[in-house]
Structure 1
Amino acid sequence: MAPLGVCLVLLAAITAGTWVLSLVTREYSWVDRIWSIAPVVYVWVFAAASGGDARLVLMAVLVTAWGARLTFNFARKGGYRPGGEDYRWAVLRERMPRPAFEAFNLFFISIYQNVLILLFCLPAQTVSASSRPPLGAWDAIVAVVFLAFLAGETIADQQQWAFHRWKAAERAAGRTPTPGFLQTGLFRVSRHPNFFFEQAQWWAFYGFAVAATGIWLHWSVAGAVLLTLLFIGSTVFTESISRRRYADYDAYRARTSAIVPWFPRSVPAATAADAHARD
């Protein structure tokens, strides 16, 4: 079977499995739990089928590094433990009628997200179907950029982890943590730097398709585009929760870039208050 066919079979099995598990356990983070694992499998399928093509093996090694780091971070936050469901699904369940959420679970959480995971891996298909020229300078640049984004996400997640451990320690000591959300380090220049670096890695991954073909635009860019759209929606939803939890979150929004790291803006306090009142 062609590597894409193998991946499609795996996709069908993973999609069915995550959906059934969500019904059995009433936890809806099963796709989150395989998010960092399935891409490693998909890309190695293409690398193995190529007979060890250097570019595809390099792509698979980089995705393995991405997956190992993300799996570690997800595990230490308790994502694989029973009850380790993403808090946002519980909020969404409260906002939606039960039948609507069950349809959302099937079509968006289980089917769409699993399809998306395969899609952003499919620059490997473009490389596999190319004439496979030898590795060159462009591949080296793409690999270095990918690793730089990987390092950025590692730093952002570590800063977030340290902050949440500090919050837990403050609560355990009977104190109210202030501030209630992270605003320093990379979070001073982006409200969601980990979101930025996660997307950026998959845009860099698409760069290997360009390197292999010499053509800038391929259908396999669709995965990176759709991933970016997913993160835009996730950012809006996440921030709707944060704005309800923290009175000073609007001031943070007013001065700090949403996704792309950028210099903080100087915004009068009244401006942020006015923006909140308009919303």
Structure 2
Amino acid sequence: MAFPSVRTLEDCADYSQVIEPYLPQLYELPWKVVDVVSSGGSLLELYKNTNPMVSGFGFSIFLGVIFLVASEVNRNYSQVDRMWSLLPTIYNAHFAAWSHLNHLPSQRLDLVLFWSSMWSARLTFNYWRKGGYEIGSEDYRWEIIRAKVPPALFFIFNVTFISFIQSILLFLLAAPTYIILLASNFEQDVTAADLGFAAVQLSLILSEWFSDQQQWDYHAAKHQYQKTAKVPRGCGFTQPELDRGFNTSGLWAYCRHPNFAAEQTIWFVLYQWSCFASKTLYNWAGLGAVFLIMVFQGSTWLTELISLGKYPEYELYRKQVGAHIPSLTPYRAPSATPKVIRTSDLAKRQKTKQK
């Protein structure tokens, strides 16, 4: 049976009851798929009769193989990054679809899928608008690591972390939805608490949109300033702010990475939602949120290491403003700008050389 037989809400979050009994299905799944395809059977029936955690986890491993092959063939290691905005929502849709197909209560899952779709739409829009600036920008970080480690060691890193661990992580982010699916068998209707959790998620998504828009506006103005040596009219930034090289206005005045902070909180809130739905203080589904926070810590460290090498004022910014937890007071720039070659002066020198 693909659906766990649990007696209480607390049992919905019990690993020994809702995960462990179905692990044999994971080992058998590849052979069952081959058998169904070769015999002309119904893949839909196989999907319905397979535990959704097993089928979702198996799909994440399959994608890991695809990501590995594509990255090695193209020598581009941002394959997972390009799917980052889609896969958690695809997995949430998977749990909702499995629930519908098996005629189980799905109202709460549809609510999860709704805000998750808004999250994907926002992130995907940013990705295409910026030409990969937000998600695909991971590639330059992989290239930096690749340049500093032996090829054999980087290949191992690609096999383990870049291709497979990240793919599995994106599935684990949606794992709390599985617990909500099981709990829906006890509480079928959407409750006020469910609406509250969804409202928090939408607020966090809106926060991400504002922070990304502020970052986009700043860098668009900075790039225009670098080309023309003139502050773009109506951009809202002063020459010293553009000479600084990094944004310290809006949400960025209180937090060095407000978009990162909101992103981590979104998936932690989904985990808390599963805890509330199953009446547990904590459960195994928090593994995805914990791993995500660890990944962001490493990514933030590398990003800021690069920024420290590019911007003299960034060290002062780090001392005044929190990385992910907002500071109570905004950033205060030094009264005297460090002695560096200003972007406007550099542009003027280039024009002189061309003449």
CA contact (8 A) 1:27 1:85 kept: no
1:206 — aligned with what?
271
1:33 — aligned with what?
82
Q: Secondary structure at the match of 2:244?
A: coil
Work out the CA distance in 2 between the residues paired with 1:268 and 1:185.
14
Work out the CA distance in 2 between the residues paired with 1:21 and 1:127.
34
Deviations 1:51-110 (A, max 9, x none): 251111111111111111101111112129xx9763222222222222222211111111
Decide which of 125, 130, 142 is 1:89's aligned counterpart.
Answer: 142
1:163 — aligned with what?
218
The number of residues matched between the two structures is 268
Work out the CA distance in 2 between the residues paired with 1:167 and 1:266.
19
Q: Which has the larger radius of gyration?
A: 2
1:18 — aligned with what?
67
CA contact (8 A) 2:205 2:262 kept: yes
Output the amino acid matched with 2:157: F
1:114 — aligned with what?
167
Output the amino acid matched with 1:17: I
1:164-183 to 2 correspondences below 5 Å: 164-174=219-229, 177-183=242-248
1:34-183 to 2 correspondences below 5 Å: 34-51=83-100, 53-79=106-132, 86-130=139-183, 131-133=185-187, 134-174=189-229, 177-183=242-248
Work out the CA distance in 2 between the residues paired with 1:102 and 1:266.
41
Output the amino acid matched with 2:271: Y
CA contact (8 A) 2:264 2:292 kept: yes
Output the amino acid matched with 2:287: A
Q: Unmatched 5+ residue regions in structure 2?
A: 1-49, 231-238, 339-355
CA contact (8 A) 1:39 1:117 kept: yes
Q: Unmatched 5+ residue regions in structure 1?
A: 274-279
CA contact (8 A) 1:29 1:85 kept: yes
- Give aligned-pair identity as a percent: 36
Work out the CA distance in 1 between the residues paired with 2:94 and 2:79.
22
Deviations 1:214-259 (A, max 9, x none): 2221110111111111111111111111101111110111111111
CA contact (8 A) 1:132 1:212 kept: no
Q: What TM-score do you get using the length of structure 1 for normalisation?
A: 0.89
Q: Secondary structure at the match of 1:86?
A: helix
1:255-270 to 2 correspondences below 5 Å: 255-264=320-329
Output the amino acid matched with 1:47: A
Alpha-carbon deviation of 1:268?
10
Q: Secondary structure at the match of 2:243?
A: coil
Q: Secondary structure at the match of 1:178?
A: helix
Q: What TM-score do you get using the length of structure 2 for normalisation?
A: 0.71
Q: Secondary structure at the match of 1:186?
A: helix
Deviations 1:111-153 (A, max 9, x none): 1111111111100111122334132121111111111111111
Q: Between 141-150 and 127-136, report the one with greater CA deviation.
A: 127-136
Q: Secondary structure at the match of 2:132?
A: coil
CA contact (8 A) 1:139 1:211 kept: no
